[in-house]
Amino acid sequence: MSYKSKFHILEKIRLASSLSVEEYVKLYDPTLIHELGAIANEIAISKHGEIAYYVLNRHINPTNLCVNRCKFCAFSRSKGQAGAFELTIEEIIDKLTSSQIPFTELHIVGGLHPDWKFEHYLNIIKVVRLHFPNIAIKAYSAVEIDYMSKIAGMDIDHVIKSLKDAGLDMLPGGGAEIFESKVRDKLCPEKISGERWLYIMQRAHINGILSNATMLYGHIENYIDRVNHMLKIRELQDKTGGFQAFIPLSYQPINTEIGGKWTSGIDDLLNIAISRIILDNVPHIKAYWIMLGEKISQTALLFGADDLDGTIIEEKISHSAGASSSQSMTEDDLQWLIKKAGKKPVQRDGFYRIVE
């Protein structure tokens, strides 16, 4: 890109003007990383001051049995395959009650189990809520919600309302992958379409359930696919305002059917900065340290991210695919990473309320 055209595009971003898809795509240029990082950091500061959030949270996966077998997923198994697991509700509660960390947010996602009924998915939420009345329960991706509506023969609104009555607070942002159907058909042909994912999120927001949004990048997509993906999230956010955070998920290639390479640090940071710029209507950009690694996610706090996520405790999805980060971080570690990025660590709960 010529100096003139770089200058012109950066000037437009500084004036908070929207760019065309082609112009956003041009931002994926390593020579722009300093300027984009500085602009994205300014946007984050204008929204959150010098704060960077972390949360005491826990992940749990009730099962890795899945009737979809996405080609980037090293976590899922078919029935009878080595490594397949399904936790009983008692086992889930045992794991949760034996956690050392007093978590305020619980993240529950898993596979599309071939035999479980909707009532089982519902009971998991009911029993967890009974044992943990005060935590935020963030459970079931849009893909799981769609599956529940199929196995229960219920419409999406009915599924969401039943889960909400059982104690669900919000939906995680998984399953979005890349909306572009040409890519999606190659990555995960059995998965719901991008349009369906957006529809389910819209219904969740309308029914009072907030959610996150993700984008899986660094596999076979191109920059146009990434930009279009984020623009679709921005468009829905303009209508509902229901997305709390955007989380770019860097592809982990080990043990997957499509294989491929790890993302580069430069791509990770550019992507964080560009997402902060495009998604100016989404409050938070999460640098998910589990996938980005501790050092890149810390650096991302100066590139537009304002949330490191949390203690996690147990992570299976990206570690099945070779993630080399640890599975858990202490509160001290999270605070240290944030402070060393020159930001003020603030503990949040699932709704981004400050925990005193």
By C-beta, is 110 or 345 nearer to ligand V47?
A: 110
Both structure tokens of 186 = 């190659």
The correct pick among 53, 54, 75, 179 for binding ligand SF4 (CB under 6 A) is 75
Task: Tell me if 280 sits within 8 A of 44, measured CB to CB.
Answer: no
The correct pick among 13, 40, 74, 278 for binding ligand V47 (CB under 6 A) is 74
Tell me which residues in 44-73 interact with ligand V47 (CB under 6 A).
Answer: 72-73
Q: Is 111 in the site for ligand SF4 (CB under 6 A)?
A: yes
The correct pick among 43, 60, 66, 341 for binding ligand SF4 (CB under 6 A) is 66
Tell me which residues in 255-314 interact with ligand V47 (CB under 6 A).
Answer: 256, 288, 291
The correct pick among 61, 63, 149, 214 for binding ligand V47 (CB under 6 A) is 214
What is the Cα–Cα distance from 201 to 112, expressed in whole angstroms?
18
Backbone angles phi, psi at 173, to 5 degrees: -95, 10
The correct pick among 111, 167, 173, 194 for binding ligand V47 (CB under 6 A) is 173
What is the Cα–Cα distance from 161 to 57, expressed in whole angstroms?
24
DSSP annotation of 71: T
Tell me which residues in 119-148 interact with ligand SF4 (CB under 6 A).
Answer: 143
3-state secondary structure of 52: strand
Phi-psi region of 291 (alpha: psi -120 to 50; beta: other; left: phi over 0): alpha
By C-beta, is 36 or 217 nearer to ligand V47?
A: 217
Q: Is 247 in the site for ligand V47 (CB under 6 A)?
A: yes
Please identify the residue of the shown chain whose CB is closest to the bound ligand V47: 174
Both structure tokens of 240 = 């509902």
Per-residue binding string, ligand SF4, 167-196, x by CB under 6 A, is ---------------------x--x-----
Q: Among 95, 97, 151, which Cα is nearest to 121's? A: 151
Exposed e or buried b for every residue in 202-220, given b needs 16+ CB within 10 A? Answer: bbbbebebbbbbbbbbbbe
DSSP annotation of 354: B
Tell me which residues in 277-296 interact with ligand SF4 (CB under 6 A).
Answer: none
The correct pick among 38, 45, 50, 68 for binding ligand SF4 (CB under 6 A) is 68
Task: Tell me if 109 sits within 8 A of 144, measured CB to CB.
Answer: yes
Q: How far is the CB of 73 from ligand V47 (least distance, A)?
A: 4
Task: Tell me if 282 sits within 8 A of 243, measured CB to CB.
Answer: yes
Select the binding partner of residue 68 from ligand SF4, ligand V47, none (C-beta < 5 to 8 A, by kind): ligand SF4
What is the Cα–Cα distance from 351 to 355, expressed in whole angstroms?
10
Q: How far is the CB of 294 from ligand V47 (least distance, A)?
A: 15
Select the binding partner of residue 251 from ligand SF4, ligand V47, none (C-beta < 5 to 8 A, by kind): ligand V47
By C-beta, is 76 or 149 nearer to ligand SF4?
A: 76
The correct pick among 252, 271, 325, 328 for binding ligand V47 (CB under 6 A) is 252
Backbone angles phi, psi at 108, to 5 degrees: -120, 115
What is the Cα–Cα distance from 267 to 25, expressed in whole angstroms?
13
What is the Cα–Cα distance from 260 to 273, expressed in whole angstroms?
24
By C-beta, is 96 or 109 nearer to ligand V47?
A: 109
Write out the E strands in 164-227: 170-171, 210-217
Total binding residues toward ligand SF4, as defined by CB under 6 A: 12
Both structure tokens of 21 = 């898809």
Residues that bind ligand V47 (CB under 6 A): 72-74, 109, 141, 172-175, 177, 212, 214, 216, 247, 249, 251-252, 256, 288, 291, 317-318, 321
Give residues in contact with ligand SF4 (CB under 6 A): 66, 68-70, 73, 75-76, 111-112, 143, 188, 191
